Amino acid sequence: MNYDMETQNNNKSRRSPAVEQFKFETANEVGVPLQQGYNGDLTSKQAGSIGGAMVKKMIAAQMNQMGGQ
pLDDT tens-digit series, residues 6-62 = 666 666 667 799 999 999 999 999 999 999 999 999 999 999 999 999 999 999 999
* pLDDT: which is higher, 5 or 22: 22
Q: CA-CA distances (angstroms) from residue 60 to 6, 11, 28, 53, 68? A: 34, 26, 18, 11, 8
What whole-number distance in Å separates Cα of residue 54 and Cα of residue 22? 8
- Whole-model pTM: value is 0.74
Which helix (H) or strand (E) covers residue 53, if one does?
helix 44-65
Question: 9 and 38 in contact (C-beta within 8 Å)?
Answer: no
